[in-house]
């Protein structure tokens, strides 16, 4: 190593040696994590926050631009009313107070920010004092959800990371000025799983309310985590670090755990973390310090004189509240009320198939079977087009013994394919349910043909019996081409054995 030039990456690794650790899933019991999350969601508007340019992901670089979002001299911002409406929508979904708000300038120099200030909100945000309830029932308080504009994107070309490298940067301003909502939680989150649950729930709410498409992979959802640790049982708030560049739920869990453990290691070795911004390195599986300059940043916030306060009328707020759809939490509760399990209810809502389940249940379908199908067999395209009455009929045929579980699955797949009714499909496939008497006669015949196997089933140990049960069930299925109901076959075998 000594005869090689020291690259900045190698230097970084060396400096960070003390941080190296294996991934684990929790801290020792002596420590507790204290986590607050800042989630940035791009709003699903047609145009940008303050400019008539199109808000669209994936366009050719610098095509979704206009003099206003390029910050050209002389241009002025005008608030996008739709962005305000969507922001209020989310605020109400998060139980926030919606208030008269003021746009402020956050001043700092960055090449992908056309005006070298970001229009954001500071001491008068739109939404304040809300909360979000996790599926576990834990409530995370939401401090604020404010409007701001996104920055552009820089791509560094030919940049090895070395200062004197002859690299250059390309800037794409398509994203500059895209409306963002920044949702800031209180430090009410206690671990990586809870953090992931919070973001997943927030994502579900953003999508359900139509506020954002909530796509991590397109950057329309981004998370920064403020992380500190404290001795278990303590209520103090210790120095926190803000971890940026977390681009998936999985990364969020890993980043939190890594950073929390780093703090614990520092405290346990008699040191303490310093307040700083750090970046999650997905490949390296660790956080790295940001540029030290960032700590000294003074954003010189002041009210933007180009904009006037936004003061939503109580009538408008109530109109928006009335237009809110049922939220994921309420939808899960409805399914559980109807007899579903918490787990399958969550999956059904996640797949937006809770409506299908509820209709089927109201038509007499068994809730558990209905939700099991949705959880296991409907993670497919076309599931949303499934006719609820047909689905209910299928579940009833199954629970009524007209179809076995295997047959029901086959019929369901065919229903998705053709849209035909389950009765028709079952008839076409020859899935008439077998008469129990007919089945008893068949089984008696098989027993007579296989005396030694039967002896081992009746008199053998548990292992032998289990093996022979498999043998006889297999024979029945073979001879019925799978039409027999496994449960009934088993019942008949047990009856014959006990006789």
* Residues binding other proteins (CB under 8 A): 67, 70-79, 105, 107, 109, 111, 114-117, 163-164, 169, 171, 298, 300-302, 305-308
Q: How far is the CB of 67 from other proteins (least distance, A)?
A: 5
How would you label 282-297 residue by residue, b for 16+ Cβ within 10 Å and e otherwise? Answer: eeebbbbbbeeeeeee
User: Alpha-carbon distance 40 to 150, whole Å?
Assistant: 9
Give burial (CB, 10 Å; 0-12/13-18/19+) of 164: exposed
Which residue number, 148 or 194, has a Cβ lying nearer to other proteins?
Answer: 148
Distance in Å, CB of 324 to other proteins, minimum: 28
- Least distance in angstroms from the C-beta of 89 to other proteins: 22
Q: Measured in whole angstroms, how far is the alpha carbon of residue 382 from the centre of its chain?
A: 21
Nearer to other proteins, 242 or 350 (CB): 242
Nearer to other proteins, 66 or 456 (CB): 66
Distances (CA, A) of 445 to 449, 474, 476: 6, 14, 10
Q: Which is nearer to other proteins, 267 or 301 (CB)?
A: 301
Give whichever of 79 and 477 is closer to other proteins, judged by the CB atom: 79
d(C-alpha 340, C-alpha 353), whole Å:
13
With respect to other proteins, which residue has the nearer C-beta, 308 or 380? 308
Q: How far is the CB of 408 from other proteins (least distance, A)?
A: 60
Looking at the Cβ atoms of 83 and 257, the one nearer to other proteins is 83
Whether 239 and 272 have beta carbons less than 8 Å apart is answered as yes
- Nearer Cβ to other proteins, position 68 or 249? 68
Nearer to other proteins, 301 or 471 (CB): 301
Residues 249, 284: Cα–Cα separation, whole Å: 17
144 bridge partner residues = 128, 184
Smallest distance, other proteins to C-beta of residue 145, A: 22
| 90, 148, 484 from 183: Cα distances, Å | 9, 11, 55
Question: Which residue, 152 or 214, has its beta carbon nearer to other proteins?
Answer: 152
């Amino acid at each position: 190593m000594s005869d090689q030039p020291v690259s900045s990456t190698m230097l970084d690794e060396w400096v960070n040696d003390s941080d190296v650790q294996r991934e684990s899933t929790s801290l020792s019991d002596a420590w507790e994590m204290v986590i607050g999350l800042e989630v940035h969601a791009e709003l699903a508007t047609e145009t940008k926050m303050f400019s008539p340019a199109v808000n669209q992901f994936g366009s050719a670089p610098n095509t979704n631009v206009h003099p206003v979002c390029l910050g050209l001299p002389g241009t002025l911002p005008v608030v996008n009313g739709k962005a305000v409406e969507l922001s209020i929508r989310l605020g109400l979904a998060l139980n926030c107070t919606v208030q008269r708000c003021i746009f402020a300038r956050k001043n700092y120099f960055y090449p992908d920010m056309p005006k070298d200030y970001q229009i954001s909100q500071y001491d008068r945000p739109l939404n304040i004092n809300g909360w979000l309830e996790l599926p576990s029932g834990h409530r995370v308080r939401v401090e604020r959800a404010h409007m701001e504009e996104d920055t552009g994107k820089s791509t560094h070309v030919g940049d090895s990371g070395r200062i004197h490298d002859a690299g250059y940067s390309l800037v794409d301003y398509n994203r500059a000025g895209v409306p963002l909502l920044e949702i800031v939680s209180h430090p009410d989150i206690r671990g990586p799983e809870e953090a992931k649950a919070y973001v997943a729930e927030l994502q579900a709410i953003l999508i359900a309310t139509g506020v954002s498409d909530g796509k991590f992979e397109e950057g329309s959802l981004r998370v920064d985590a403020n992380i500190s640790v404290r001795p278990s049982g303590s209520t103090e708030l210790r120095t926190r670090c803000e971890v940026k560049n977390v681009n998936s739920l999985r990364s969020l869990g890993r980043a939190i755990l890594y950073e929390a453990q780093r703090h614990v290691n520092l405290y346990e070795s008699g040191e303490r973390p310093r307040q700083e911004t750090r970046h999650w390195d997905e490949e390296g599986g660790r956080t790295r310090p940001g540029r030290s300059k960032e700590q000294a940043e003074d954003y010189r916030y002041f009210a933007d004189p180009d904009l006037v306060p936004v003061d939503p009328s109580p009538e408008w707020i109530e109109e928006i509240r009335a237009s809110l759809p049922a939220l994921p939490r309420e939808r899960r509760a409805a399914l559980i009320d109807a007899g579903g399990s918490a787990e399958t209810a969550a999956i059904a809502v996640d797949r937006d198939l809770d409506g299908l389940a509820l209709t089927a249940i109201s038509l007499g379908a068994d809730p558990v079977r209905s939700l099991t199908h949705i959880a296991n067999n409907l993670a497919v395209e076309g599931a949303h087009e499934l006719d609820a009455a047909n689905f209910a009929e299928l579940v009833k045929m199954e629970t009524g013994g007209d179809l076995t579980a295997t047959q029901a699955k086959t019929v369901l797949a065919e229903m998705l394919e053709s849209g035909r009714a389950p009765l028709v499909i079952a008839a076409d496939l020859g899935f008439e349910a077998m008469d129990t008497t007919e089945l008893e006669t068949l089984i008696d015949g098989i027993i007579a043909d296989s005396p030694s196997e039967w002896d081992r089933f009746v008199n053998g140990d548990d292992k032998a019996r289990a093996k022979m049960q498999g043998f006889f069930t297999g024979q029945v299925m073979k001879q019925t081409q799978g039409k027999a109901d496994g449960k009934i076959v088993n019942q008949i075998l047990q009856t014959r054995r006990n006789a």
